[in-house]
Amino acid sequence: MKQGSDVKAKRPTILQALRPIAQAASDHADIDRLLAVAVDSVFSLFNCDQVWLLYPCSSIATSYRICCQRSKPGLPQVQTLNRNLPVDEFTGRLFRLALASRSPVVFNVDSPLPAQFLEQEPLSSQALMAMALYPNQGEPWLLGMQRSQQNCLWSEQEETLFLSVTEFLTEILNTSTRHSNLYEVSQRLLDLLAHATDEEYLLRGGMDILQALIQPEYAVATTLNAEGQLEAFVFSGVSEEKAELITQLSGGKEFLGARLEQALRIDDLNSHPDLVDFLPPDFPLKSLLMAPIINEGKIIGRIYLCDKRNHRTFTLDDEVLSMSFADAFAQTLIRFRKTLVSQGAQEALFLDHQRAQVTLESIADAVITIDSQGRIDYLNPLAEELIGTTQSQAQGKSLEKVTCLLDEESRSHVIRDIAAWLAQEPVESRSCTALLQDARDQELIVQTSIAPLRDSQDRIFGAVLVLRDITPLRALASQLSYQATHDVLTGLINRREFEVRLRQALDDVCQNNTHHVLCYLDLDQFKVVNDTCGHLAGDKLLRQLATLLQERIREADCLGRLGGDEFGVLLLGCHLDQAQGIAESLRILIRDFRFNWKGKTFQLGVSIGLVPLARGSGGLEEVLSAADTACYVAKDQGRDRIHTYRLDDCIVERHHGEMQWVARIQQAFEESRFLIYYQPIRALNKEEHLCHGEVLLRMKGEDESLIPPMAFIPAAERYRLMSALDRWVISNTFIALEEHSIGQALIGINLSGQSVCDELFLKFVIEQLQRSPVNPRMICFEITETAAVANFDSAIRFIRALKEIGCRFALDDFGSGLSSFNYLKNLPVDYLKIDGSFVKDMVDDPVDYAMVEAIHKVGKVMGLKTIAEFVENEAILEKLRGIGVDYVQGLIIGGPRPFHKTPWADKE
């Protein structure tokens, strides 16, 4: 059964797959966009049928949402994105397994997914893999993927890769939080708190901040009393008439979020089941986003964001931001209330600033605040550690004197003069990935975000710079890239990477007319080591050989492992004669190598195919096919040798021709284009009137033309298709004999040497004879002398087993072998068919005449009947009659004809 890692799909490299995720995070894309990019990247990287992301996957959750999903074309698409779905038995079990494990949960079984994943017919999943994500230590998410095609399960390498990708995605989600925006919101809330005179002012100012952050059409804030009833109500960006409608909605339908301690997002208010009977048909609002304001586990108010019909719906990013704002606003509201009732208002404000200071010092990123002149005002502890200085040392200095931020590619300054940047109009936030040079001259890779700070009058008084060290993240991506391009066992580049470099070499040949050679190595006798000592020994052997080969090739050359025991060497800047010398040295190296395992010593060989890369070599597939063919020819010619591919190579052309015939034979089986023909055999003794003949095989071409057997039989023999052809001939001959109700006849059926040696084939013949009403004495199996001698013991067992049932046997083409008479006396046959090469020239060639006469006499002595083939004229017929040959076959008697057109009633 094939593993997923062996599936030859056109997948992207790990860097190609992960780069869009990192880019989306660098661009501060919203969460919906970031998740969509991540799911698309996982989908393309693992070549799966479906990828989905669920939230939340808490063990106590009663509902969840499918936040993002990607399916292959033709599969049912999920229609329930971002809708609450009930947690059923399967989903709950999957959540529990994922939460209990720090590694991927893998199902390599045939298990149907729950119906709500597809909303139509459940997809039969051959392989499923999922893992929980914990971004910012919040509610867990569940990333999962599946394959439905047969024999395509998850490999251990794919599990390891999936674990690394989820760690990468978690880090990216952590970095995507809008630190600079939330920092600015915190500063504005502190400023609002300092100027608030009453709670209504605070609520209205908070709604203005939130509306600027998320930009809904309307923003509403409510506060609740100790009994949970509506107490205060303020709004922003809405007329008095529409405010009354929102008041009715929030006041009359407070149960929409009454028991929820998380955000509620409704994309279409008119279709919500709790609101269908409540809202008028012409209600002007479409979407709603509610976030509870919670203090010490108790809901003290709610925030509602609304949009009109045909405008945008709220996103998951909006939901996360609204919850973050609600948490910050709850603290601001509680602080304001405490300040009002406190006798020391100034002390309360001081404590608020202290809390803000502690928050900055506890944040997981390096935060630097800068005044309008570009001088450092504050460093949090992580910034001190990252830059390698203290706040007291850095305070009052320009940022450029303390640290240096350079562009990754150009190594130019990201912002050379912050004071000049702040003086521009308008001043826009910036974010990018940069190189950080600290006071210790160390270079780190950091995710950088800088945004201006504004006071209540919208005047810029400084900037906040947020840095996150992503050096470990880059190292992880580099490690994943190495794993995706290198063979785990040998450390060599894998087939995917080898094909990338081969394609580059082909492009170089076309553009610059350079010389490269592809060397394809296939180990001989490797299977003996695996079968004798096990796969551990085989793995050790491959590692040792990889080391030897790597040491022998030139520094500029490229060595890769292409398959189980196959290696490829790309000889760059190398002429063919030089490449042949290198290939010969590799052949001798492997031939002289001895592998020792637990006291056993093994000697190996290697078959090598060489393909020079030229402008007319074709593309990647053509070159690899040519290398494989050349390697096959080397192996077919005796192994442990080198064969160089040339366009006019007759051996290669023959191999290609045979391979084409193999495909045509298999297609003929599928399209039922085989036919049985019949050629009569006549007794020279006129007293015998038994119908006697030989069944012959023909194949119809795609154009309905008739193809003779010698056109496709050699390929069938070489690629072991003869047993399948023999089975077809036997089955269809028995059917034809039954249809024509032939009761008295002797029908000859040819058998190959492959079939004679096959115990299962003997069992097949016996079963066919037992099922068919055909009398076994009507069947005469013909075995060539060459096949009988080559498989002597098997032939004797085969003949004796069927003769016991009643079948008869003829030794075909007798006289063509060198040891015919020595073996004849031990073969229990009934007929000798004299080879036609002697018969056709016996009139003019006395030696051929003597051979025919000798074979006939030996047959008579042994009590065998003789049959002469290739009888084409009356002169040959008279000679054979004079010798006393029993039967004749040839054009003078009758040529091959379709079996159903045979005149069985003709007794001539």
List the one residue out of 290, 288, 322 whose CA is nearest residue 307: 288
Predicted local confidence at residue 492, as pLDDT: 92
User: In sequence order, which residues have a C-beta less than 8 Å from that of residue 736 and are 6 or more positions away?
Assistant: 676, 899, 900
Residues 112-149: b if buried by 16+ CB within 10 A, e if exposed: ebeebbbeeebbebbbbbbbbbebeeeebbbbbbbbbe
From the CB of residue 880, how many other CB atoms can be counted at a distance below 10 Å? 25
Question: Which is more confident, 894 or 75?
Answer: 894
> What does the alpha-carbon distance between residue 519 and residue 585 come to, in Å, rounded to a whole number?
12
> What does the alpha-carbon distance between residue 484 and residue 158 come to, in Å, rounded to a whole number?
10
Which fold, 10-175? Answer: Beta-Lactamase (3.30.450)
Which helix H or strand E contains 802, and what residues bound it? helix 792-803
Helical residues (DSSP H) of 611-752, grouped into ranges: 620-636, 650-670, 709-718, 722-739
What phi-psi label fits residue 215: left (phi over 0), alpha (psi between -120 and 50 degrees) or beta? left
Q: Where in the chain is the domain with CATH 3.30.450.40?
A: 10-175, 196-338
The pLDDT tens digits of the residues spanning 402-454 come to 888 887 777 777 777 777 777 777 777 777 888 887 666 778 888 888 888 88
> What does the alpha-carbon distance between residue 413 and residue 436 come to, in Å, rounded to a whole number?
10
Predicted local confidence at residue 520, as pLDDT: 93
Q: How confident is the model at residue 905 (pLDDT cuts 50, 70, 90)?
A: very low
> What does the alpha-carbon distance between residue 847 and residue 762 come to, in Å, rounded to a whole number?
39
Q: Where in the chain is the domain with CATH 3.30.70.270?
A: 485-655
The two tokens of residue 173 are 């989600």
The full 3-state SS of 126-158, as one line of letters, equals: CEEEEEEECHHHCCCEEEEEEECCCCCECCHHH
Q: Is the pLDDT of residue 115 over 90?
A: no
Q: Which CATH superfamily is domain 662-898 in?
A: EAL domain (3.20.20.450)
**Range name among 190-194, 505-509, 547-551, 814-818 with the lowest pLDDT average:** 814-818
Predicted local confidence at residue 820, as pLDDT: 52
Average pLDDT score over the chain: 79
- Percent of the chain with pLDDT strictly greater than 70: 81
Apex CA 738: angle with CA 734 and CA 741, to 5°? Answer: 140
Highest mean pLDDT among 10-19, 37-46, 68-77: 37-46
Predicted local confidence at residue 341, as pLDDT: 66
Question: Which is more confident, 464 or 182?
Answer: 464
User: In sequence order, which residues have a C-beta less than 8 Å from that of residue 794 and are 6 or more positions away?
Assistant: 756, 757
Residues 732-752: b if buried by 16+ CB within 10 A, e if exposed: bbbebbeeeebeebbbbbbbb
From the CB of residue 105, how many other CB atoms can be counted at a distance below 10 Å? 21
List the one residue out of 421, 426, 436, 425 whose CA is nearest residue 466: 436
User: In sequence order, which residues have a C-beta less than 8 Å from that of residue 155 and are 6 or more positions away?
Assistant: 3, 4, 5, 6
The pLDDT tens digits of the residues spanning 624-675 come to 888 888 888 888 788 888 998 877 665 555 666 566 777 788 888 888 888 8
> What does the alpha-carbon distance between residue 232 and residue 293 come to, in Å, rounded to a whole number?
13
Q: Is the pLDDT of residue 789 over 50?
A: yes
Written out in words, the top-level CATH class of the domain with range 363-474 is alpha beta
Question: Which is more confident, 378 or 741?
Answer: 378
Residue/partner pairs of 543-549 with CB below 8 Å, 24 or more apart: 543/489, 543/490, 544/593, 544/595, 545/590, 545/593, 546/490, 546/491, 546/492, 548/589, 548/590, 548/593, 549/586, 549/589
Question: Which is more confident, 200 or 42?
Answer: 42
DSSP for residue 556: T
- SS3 label, residue 13: coil
Predicted local confidence at residue 823, as pLDDT: 67
Question: Which is more confident, 141 or 425?
Answer: 141
* Strand residues in 284-330 grouped as ranges (E): 285-295, 298-308
Q: Is the pLDDT of residue 326 over 80?
A: yes
Query: Once rounded to an integer, what is the mean pLDDT over residues 679-683?
Result: 90
> What does the alpha-carbon distance between residue 499 and residue 488 come to, in Å, rounded to a whole number?
17
User: In sequence order, which residues have a C-beta less than 8 Å from that of residue 582 and are 6 or more positions away?
Assistant: 519, 553, 554, 569, 571, 574
Q: Are residues 21 and 42 in contact, defined by beta-carbon separation less than 8 angstroms?
A: no
Max Cα distance, the chain (Å): 141
The two tokens of residue 23 are 């880019």
Asked if the peptide bond before residue 846 counts as cis, ω within 30 degrees of 0, the response is no
Q: Is the pLDDT of residue 516 over 90?
A: yes
Q: Is the pLDDT of residue 701 over 60?
A: yes
Q: How confident is the model at residue 350 (pLDDT cuts 50, 70, 90)?
A: low
The two tokens of residue 782 are 């013909």
Query: Once rounded to an integer, what is the mean pLDDT over residues 2-16?
Result: 53
Instruction: Calculate the alpha carbon distances from 627 to 281, 507, 583, 622, 880 in Å.
Output: 72, 18, 13, 9, 53
Q: How confident is the model at residue 388 (pLDDT cuts 50, 70, 90)?
A: confident
Predicted local confidence at residue 296, as pLDDT: 81
> What does the alpha-carbon distance between residue 232 and residue 240 come to, in Å, rounded to a whole number?
16
The count of C-alpha atoms lying within 13 angstroms of the C-alpha of 302, restricted to the half-sphere facing its C-beta, is 27
| Beta strands at 111-112 and 831-834: parallel, antiparallel or unpaired | unpaired
The count of C-alpha atoms lying within 13 angstroms of the C-alpha of 373, restricted to the half-sphere facing its C-beta, is 7
Predicted local confidence at residue 99, as pLDDT: 85
Q: Is the pLDDT of residue 323 over 50?
A: yes
| Beta strands at 460-469 and 516-524: parallel, antiparallel or unpaired | unpaired
List the one residue out of 360, 357, 366 whose CA is nearest residue 448: 366
Amino acid of residue 415: I
- SS3 label, residue 89: helix
Question: Which is more confident, 599 or 785?
Answer: 599
Q: Are residues 144 and 49 in contact, defined by beta-carbon separation less than 8 angstroms?
A: no
Q: What CATH number is given for 196-338 in this structure?
A: 3.30.450.40
CATH 3.30.70.270 is right for the domain spanning 485-655: yes
**Range name among 2-11, 689-698, 730-739 with the lowest pLDDT average:** 2-11
The pLDDT tens digits of the residues spanning 522-534 come to 998 888 888 888 8
Amino acid of residue 532: T
Predicted local confidence at residue 502, as pLDDT: 92
Predicted local confidence at residue 786, as pLDDT: 73
Question: Which is more confident, 111 or 360?
Answer: 360
| Beta strands at 111-112 and 264-266: parallel, antiparallel or unpaired | unpaired
List the one residue out of 401, 214, 417, 191 whose CA is nearest residue 316: 214
Sort 889 into a burial class: Cβ within 10 Å, 0-12 / 13-18 / 19+. Answer: buried
- Percent of the chain with pLDDT strictly greater than 90: 16
Residues 67-97: b if buried by 16+ CB within 10 A, e if exposed: bbbbbeeeeeebeeebeeeebeebbbebbee
φ, ψ for residue 834, nearest 5 deg? -70, 130
User: In sequence order, which residues have a C-beta less than 8 Å from that of residue 442 and are 6 or more positions away?
Assistant: 388
Residue whose token pair is 């200085």: 389
Q: Where in the chain is the domain with CATH 3.30.450.20?
A: 363-474
> What does the alpha-carbon distance between residue 307 and residue 289 come to, in Å, rounded to a whole number?
9
Counting DSSP H helices and E strands in the chain, the numbers are 30, 37
The two tokens of residue 70 are 């990607």
